[in-house]
Structure 1
Amino acid sequence: MKTKFIALVTGALLGSGVLSAQSNDCPTMAALAYDDAKAKNYDAAYQPLLEVMENCPDYSLATYQYLERVLQDKIDNASADAQKNEYINELISVWEKRLELYPEKTSKGKVYGDIAQLKYDNEIGTKEELYNAYDRAYTEDSENFTSAKGLYAYFDLMVEMQDTGERELQDVFDIYDRVMAKIEEEENDAAEDLAPLIEKQEAGEELTSKEDTQIKYAEINLNNYNMVKNALNAKLGARADCDNLIPLYEKDFEERKSDVDWLQNANARLSAKDCTEDPLFFQVSEALHQLEPSANSAFSLGQLAEADGDRAKALEYYNEAAELEEDPSDQARIYYRIASNYKERGSFGQARTYYRRAIQARPSMGTAYLQIANMIAQSANNCGDTPFNKRAVYWLAADYAARAGRVDPSISSNANQAAASYRGRAPQKSEVFQAGRSAGEAIQIGCWIGETVRIPQM
């Protein structure tokens, strides 16, 4: 009897020890699995990480971060489609579980975008299903749906469905506008981050390693978004030309001429594609301005006045449009148009004011910097007080041209050529020496320019 009692007590104690060990096992299991994952020993880390997620789901965010790496590796190296699809489904479950347990440290837009991209890259689902996956990322968290590749796929799927008759042409335009607006928003953010760092470089200040990295990633992002914009426009192709747009809107005009939203859409599309000579454009613009005076309708009436040769009236409408416009990219476009009007008339000071307003509204508008550079270069002979200082004006023109290419990769080739040309006209190293000047010395430029340029290191 005594022996039996001891056995029962021993068993109870051992059982209690096992339970205790199990309850304290998460840190041990996780530590071992994390070490293997850190060392990229993914095969060894795989099962232990799954066990940690299964038995201790809320132990640490690191579980899901390491599992993502492990499963990405397994997907990349899977030899059979069935096995690959199994890993894909596991990775999607990991992302969804992370979003459920760590919502404050996980972005819906990124998770849903990554899920959509994973399915898209591996051709899982119909075009409709894939489109809906990207649409979920955009509609539920557009702020964090920033992948250049994902944004392109989102639009591309809509185009393919329109090609097969599953969607209307207007649907393509709607998604194009949505995606292009998002890309321009991301471009502006990147250019805004880049601008003070460029100014610091141009002033000859040394950048920290963190700032060097910030420049690198800002420029990478600007390049990626520029490539997507080019691809979007190529994909849209002839769908958006006047031959398609005019019949599209003409057939619905009488029925929709009291619909402000429809008129705004038609007006913006026709204006953007310069379909301004067709009578439909005047009908749409006039109807819109009567119903609800807006930036779009004022801008369109400005275009019509400009086409009629009434430049003063055109500027009046353009300024009204700029004041009414709330979208920064569209406001920049209007300011650019006003600036170009002043530039054509030789009013460089006024033109620069409006080019700068365009840049303020849209920091990635490199063409505005390039236009300022051009005006400065044209004024070299008028804005310097000595032969040396006249040619020094070209250094300032070169700075503006170089900045244009950095904030807008789509014009980098032309901008860099312009910058090189301007530097070639500026004083060379021997001339700086002969004039008794030195690198870093500030030169004040007069007339409408009113800026300071520093002699560069050569």
Structure 2
Amino acid sequence: MKKRLLALLTVALVGSGAVSAQSGDCTTTAALAYDDAKAKNYDSAYPALMKVREECPKYSLATYQYLERAIEYKIDKAEQGDKKELVEELMKVWEERLELYPSKTEKGKVYSDIALLMFDNKIGSKEEQYEAFHKAYTEDKDNFKSPKGLYAYFDLMVEMQDAGDKTLQDVFDNYDRVFTKIEEEENEAAENLAPLLKKQEEGEELTSKEKRSIKYAEINLANYSKVKQAINAKLGARADCDNLVPLYKKDFEAKKTDVNWLKNANARLSAKDCTEDPLFIQVSEALHKLEPSAKSAYSLGQLAESEGNRTKALQYYNEAAELETKPSDKAKIYYRIANNYKEKGSFGQARTFYRKALDAKPSLGSAYLQIASMYAQSANNCGDDTFTKRAVYWLAAEYASRAARVDPSLSSNANQAAAAYRGRAPQKSDVFQSSRSVGEAISVGCWIGETVRIPNL
């Protein structure tokens, strides 16, 4: 009782200072409602919160924050047939909060949450549900972050195309929007994660906040990875060369001077490696002639590579990298260049380009995995004695582990690789016999030129 009275007095003081015109009833009702909501006594809090919302909507943002929790609680407890009214009420609460407290409410999150409620509860037609997600994307893309919402946004487009209401090109356009957004979120999470992983690998103590940051970043990366896999599976055969080539071939003559159409066709054919069909050559050459760009240069590099002209291919790929402005696409180009150098055995140059790819796209775990592979292949050549040569495998294991953490879709293979590398590295008895100690730095020579610390085995 004493605690409840204290809460009432506290809110009364806040309420009188912030909204002097509010009646005493609002202050009292709000205090009691907030107290119940804090105690998760939502059945008692709900009617009082609704009263405050109706009689004094501008009293406090807390009214809407607690009301959201109370309605979500009631939705969870409600029978299926009784949920629709509560769901619609929750959507109204979100909309009112956005209207009354726009500076403290993320528009993209509100709109995507509303769209997801419509999707989950089958409110409105598929077109209306899709338009709700599209509103979130177009009006505040930065705050449209929900992995499930992004999947639903694409899923609805595919279902409408299956029903004959949308074209295959509409599906591709939506796929590009969603995939780009997911990669942006992955990169942001990976950028936040990278310095913390480095600190952890070097044996530095992490604060509780930093540990939470690692946990949340890895959860987000795992969720976005699952969504990417799901939308690629949903896209399925729609993006196969058997569908793409006829789609673009029928319009090529009419569109061969249309730069935007050529860009779209080139990007799609290139992404799916439909490079052996004559149409790809026609599209790439027409585009490069009209408007030399990263995309057209990259496509011509693919053509040169398929013809076995690796030198010419690298020239085109480097040109493409210089012209490209989109980080994820620049990373793809650098990665391809790196693969070419790796296949030639030029590991130093390959690593340079894998690192450039990672600078452009920090979530590109496959680049870490490739560097790990090169280190492992070079172990016998990059040490002064047996111990330091085998120590290279610790370094390879670190890179493989990092690949798993920034790109969860690779976690199984990357963790297996890391375990295999650790198995080849010096064991506890080897460290003891070498008179070395845990944490001691081992300099790795030759082209690698890095330092690795002896782990706590």
Give the TM-score band, short-chain normalised.
over 0.9
2:399 maps to amino acid: Y
Residue-by-residue CA offset, 1:300-336 (whole Å, 9 max, x unaligned): 0001111111111111100010011111100000000
Question: Matched residues in 1 for 2:395 and 2:80: separation?
Answer: 60
Residue-by-residue CA offset, 1:114-154 (whole Å, 9 max, x unaligned): 00001111111111111111111101111100100000000
Cα offset, 1:162, TM superposition: 0.5
1:54 maps to amino acid: E
Question: Matched residues in 2 for 1:415 and 1:114: separation?
Answer: 35
Match of 1:388 in 2: 387
Match of 1:42 in 2: 42
Residue-by-residue CA offset, 1:278-304 (whole Å, 9 max, x unaligned): 000000000100111110000000011
Question: Matched residues in 2 for 1:341 and 1:280: separation?
Answer: 25
Residue-by-residue CA offset, 1:43-98 (whole Å, 9 max, x unaligned): 111111011111111111110000000001111111252x3222111111110110
For residue 245 of structure 1, give the secondary structure of its aligned residue in structure 2.
Answer: helix
1:275 maps to amino acid: C
Instruction: Spell out the pairing of 1:5-404 with structure 2 (5 A cutoff).
Output: 23-79=23-79, 81=81, 83-404=82-403
For residue 379 of structure 1, give the secondary structure of its aligned residue in structure 2.
Answer: helix
Find the structure with the greater CA-based Rg. Answer: 1
Question: Matched residues in 2 for 1:270 and 1:357: separation?
Answer: 25
Q: Is the 8 A contact 2:22 2:59 kept in 1?
A: no
Cα offset, 1:24, TM superposition: 2.5
2:305 maps to amino acid: E
Match of 1:15 in 2: none
Question: Matched residues in 1 for 2:286 and 2:435: separation?
Answer: 66
Cα offset, 1:375, TM superposition: 0.3
Match of 2:16 in 1: none
Match of 1:9 in 2: none
For residue 437 of structure 2, give the secondary structure of its aligned residue in structure 1.
Answer: coil
Question: Matched residues in 1 for 2:294 and 2:433: separation?
Answer: 55
Report the count of equivalent residues: 438
**Runs of at least 5 residues in structure 1 that lack an aligned partner in the other structure:** 1-19
For residue 176 of structure 2, give the secondary structure of its aligned residue in structure 1.
Answer: helix
Task: Indicate the percent of aligned positions where both proteins have the same amino acid.
Answer: 75
Q: Cα RMSD over matched residues? A: 1.1
Question: Matched residues in 2 for 1:301 and 1:192: separation?
Answer: 32
Which deviates more, 48-57 or 72-81? 72-81
Cα separation, partners in 2 of 1:304 and 1:192, compared to 1, 3 Å: same
Question: Matched residues in 1 for 2:24 and 2:319: separation?
Answer: 69
Cα separation, partners in 2 of 1:411 and 1:53, compared to 1, 3 Å: same
Runs of 4+ in 1 over 3 A off after TM superposition: none
Question: Matched residues in 2 for 1:266 and 1:419: separation?
Answer: 40
- State the TM-score, normalizing by the size of structure 2: 0.95
Match of 2:451 in 1: 452
Question: Matched residues in 1 for 2:409 and 2:423: separation?
Answer: 23
1:113 maps to amino acid: S
For residue 457 of structure 1, give the secondary structure of its aligned residue in structure 2.
Answer: coil
Question: Matched residues in 2 for 1:92 and 1:127: separation?
Answer: 18
Residue-by-residue CA offset, 1:249-280 (whole Å, 9 max, x unaligned): 00011111111111111001000100000000
2:247 maps to amino acid: L
Cα separation, partners in 2 of 1:254 and 1:147, compared to 1, 3 Å: same
- State the TM-score, normalizing by the size of structure 1: 0.94
Question: Matched residues in 2 for 1:381 and 1:88: separation?
Answer: 64
Q: Is the 8 A contact 2:109 2:143 kept in 1?
A: yes
1:39 maps to amino acid: A
For residue 452 of structure 2, give the secondary structure of its aligned residue in structure 1.
Answer: strand
2:77 maps to amino acid: N
1:334 maps to amino acid: I
Match of 2:5 in 1: none
